[in-house]
């Protein structure tokens, strides 16, 4: 590995242009220029970089000059010794990579195809020369999507806590029975369990003698809550994250069927009704406002408070903080204020399923016969007749179709062959050559024969 520089002194009796082209200094300058151009491109990022750097002629000329330097270096140093052969192989490999990249640039086609389940395609789409333009290219065979499916990891539950002044919420995995330290709020959730949120039904009672009303909320788990029907009041249902606000009271409810305007016939409580709204924490549940009637004759009495999330899961726990213990009740899907830390927001996500794999089961048909049957996964593309088909996108709403990437690139083989040669040359140059030199040195130092010389 320890190799003092032993490159031959650069010949002087050669044409100066060749000397410049093949010189190590030129190589260093070209490497530096390519590095700087690439660095600028990286900072600009796509698509600006592609437009102004990677796709420009001057950048390709720069890479071409690097290739010329490599070839000139090989050609110029005609005397090939065993020691220099490794450098030659390495530079030849790099030249192959550049040639392969050029073939890719000029001839490769990259596009996509969208296939619905059970349907076939014979062409794929590639971007046209101008933005927004497309061209269709024949595949050379028929491709059928038998089925598109997603594989998931086992579902998990998450608690999200967003502390004020933090740009993103923190995520904690919820496992029943396992404490959840929430350090951002100096609390630990203990006695953690996941329960089914009770289905709540509500009835409105009105006492005509005292002229007071109250709501009675009953959960299907046996819990009940009684709330005074005072206009403007917001009452939390203890042990849950739900609150009910009394918006309005009409002692003699009547509605104009044309304008749907609500009013009272008088002040006597002939048909008392209250308008309520339901809150998850301090967030008003969309579409939750409704009228509740004391009269049993009215058809809408006793509405469910949870029509949209009947039987939803809820995280139930106790938050132990330096200031005491608070009950925690969070229904899945609802965002709420944090019960134990002022200003923080919390949410509970139940049965989150993370995608494990995208699978497009496809068949290749030729002359009406199935010649290939393959399940395309992200790391398992299908290659047929020089065309590589890889998993791209999919129908996120209904899994009805899959979008497959299609690439046809003859330069890739040359690039990988170049990679192989580069590695062989590099290892030979950096390790094998010095090791052989050491072997050569030792016998001569001992006064023995010349060994491998």
Partner 1 sequence: MGWLEVFFDISVYAYLLALIAYTVWFLWRGPKPWVSGTVLLALGAACQVAFIIAMGAVAGRPPFSNTFETMVLFSACVAGFYLALLWGVDWKPLAPGVAFAALLVSLLAYVPMQDELDPLVPALRDNLLLTIHVLFCFVSYAAFLLAYVGAITHLWKNERHHPGAVAALALSVTTLVAGVVLSTLAGTTLWKDSRGAALAVAALGAVVAAGALWPALFFGGRKLRIRDRLPEEETLQKTVYRMVALGFPFLTLGIITGSYWAKQAWGRYWGWDDKEVASLVTWLVFAAYLHVRLVPRWRGTWISWVAVAGFWCVVFTFLGVNYLLGGLHAYA
**Footprint of partner 1 (CB under 8 A):** 1-3, 5, 7, 24-25, 27-28, 31-32, 34-35, 38-39, 41-43, 45-46, 49-50, 54, 101, 104, 108, 110, 153, 163, 166-167, 170, 172-173, 183-184, 186, 354-358, 377-381, 388-391, 405-407, 409, 412, 415-416, 419, 422-423, 426-427, 430-431
In degrees and rounded to multiples of 5, residue 362 shows phi and psi of -125, 160
* CB closer to partner 1 out of 161 and 243: 161
Closest separation between CB of residue 430 and partner 1, Å? Answer: 5
Min separation Cβ 81 and partner 1, Å: 16
CB of 121 to partner 1, least distance (A): 16
Q: What is residue 176's DSSP assignment?
A: T
CB of 52 to partner 1, least distance (A): 12
- Which run of H or E residues covers position 243? strand 242-250
Between 116 and 431, name the residue whose CB sits nearer to partner 1: 431
C-beta of 318 vs 357, nearer to partner 1 = 357
Q: Which is nearer to partner 1, 1 or 57 (CB)?
A: 1
What is the spatial distance between Cα 244 and Cα 231, in angstroms, rounded to a whole number?
11
Output the smallest distance, CB 394 to partner 1, in A: 11
Find the shortest distance in angstroms from Cβ 421 to partner 1: 11
Q: Which is nearer to partner 1, 46 or 195 (CB)?
A: 46
CA–CA dist 216, 207 (Å, integer): 13
Buried b (16+ CB within 10 A) or exposed e, 125-137: ebeeeeeeeeeee
How far is the C-alpha of 187 from the C-alpha of 322, rounded, in Å?
A: 7
What are φ and ψ of residue 196, in 5° steps?
-80, 130
Q: Could you tell me the smallest distance in angstroms from the CB atom of residue 78 to partner 1?
A: 18
CB 278 within 8 A of CB 235: no
Instruction: Return d(Cα 346, Cα 282) in angstroms, integer.
Output: 11
C-beta of 335 vs 377, nearer to partner 1: 377
Cα dist. 395→104, 112, 452 in Å?
30, 14, 65
The nearer residue to partner 1, 76 or 419, going by C-beta atoms, is: 419
Rounded to a whole number of angstroms, the minimum distance from the CB of residue 51 to partner 1 is 12
Q: Which is nearer to partner 1, 42 or 308 (CB)?
A: 42
CB 351 within 8 A of CB 155: yes
Contact (CB, 8 A) for 338 and 345:
yes
Q: Of 34 and 203, which has the nearer Cβ to partner 1?
A: 34
The helix (H) or strand (E) run that includes residue 337 is strand 335-337
How many Cα atoms sit within 13 Å of 390 on the Cβ side? 11
Please name the residues in contact with 109: beta carbons below 8 A apart, sequence gap of 6 or more: 126, 137, 406, 407, 408, 409
Q: For the CB of residue 341, give the shortest distance to partner 1 in the complex, in Å.
A: 12
173: left (phi over 0), alpha (psi -120 to 50) or beta: beta
């Amino acid at each position: 590995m320890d190799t003092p520089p032993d490159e031959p002194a650069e010949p002087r009796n050669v044409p100066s242009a060749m000397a410049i082209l093949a010189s190590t200094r030129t190589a260093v300058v070209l490497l530096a220029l390519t590095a700087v151009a690439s660095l600028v491109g990286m900072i600009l990022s796509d698509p600006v970089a592609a437009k102004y750097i990677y796709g420009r002629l001057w950048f390709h000329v720069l890479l071409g000059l690097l290739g010329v330097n490599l070839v000139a270096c090989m050609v110029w140093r005609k005397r090939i010794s065993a020691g220099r052969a490794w450098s030659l192989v390495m530079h030849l490999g790099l030249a192959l990579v550049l040639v392969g990249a050029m073939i890719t640039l000029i001839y490769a086609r990259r596009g996509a195809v969208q296939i619905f389940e059970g349907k076939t395609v014979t062409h794929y789409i590639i971007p046209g020369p101008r933005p927004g333009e497309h061209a269709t290219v024949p595949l050379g065979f028929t491709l059928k999507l038998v089925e598109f499916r997603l594989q998931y990891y086992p579902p998990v539950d998450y608690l999200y806590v967003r502390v004020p002044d933090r740009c993103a919420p923190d995520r904690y995995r919820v496992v029943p029975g396992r404490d959840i330290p929430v350090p951002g709020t100096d609390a630990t959730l203990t006695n953690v369990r996941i329960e089914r949120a009770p289905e709540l039904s509500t009835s409105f009672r009105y006492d005509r003698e005292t002229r007071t009303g109250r709501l009675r909320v009953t959960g299907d788990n046996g819990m009940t809550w009684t709330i005074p029907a005072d206009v403007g009041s917001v009452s939390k249902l203890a042990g849950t994250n739900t609150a009910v606000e009394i918006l309005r009271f009409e002692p003699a409810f009547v509605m104009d069927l044309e304008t749907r305007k609500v009013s009272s016939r008088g002040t006597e409580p002939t048909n008392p009704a209250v308008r309520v709204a339901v809150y998850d924490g301090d967030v008003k549940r969309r579409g939750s406002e409704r009228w509740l009637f004391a009269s049993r004759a009215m058809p809408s009495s006793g509405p469910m408070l949870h029509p949209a999330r009947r039987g939803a899961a809820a995280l139930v726990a106790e938050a132990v903080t330096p200031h005491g213990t608070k009950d925690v009740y969070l229904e899945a899907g609802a965002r709420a204020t944090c019960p134990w830390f002022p200003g923080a927001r919390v949410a509970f996500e139940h049965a989150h399923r993370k995608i494990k794999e995208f699978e497009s089961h496809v068949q290749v048909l030729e002359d009406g016969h199935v010649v290939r049957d393959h399940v395309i996964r992200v790391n398992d593309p299908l290659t047929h007749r020089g065309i590589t088909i890889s998993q791209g996108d999919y129908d996120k709403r209904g899994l009805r179709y899959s979008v497959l990437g299609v690439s046809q690139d003859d330069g890739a083989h040359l690039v990988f062959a170049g990679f192989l040669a580069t590695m062989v040359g590099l290892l030979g140059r950096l390790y094998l050559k010095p090791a052989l030199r050491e072997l050569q040195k030792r016998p001569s130092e001992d006064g023995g024969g010349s060994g491998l010389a």
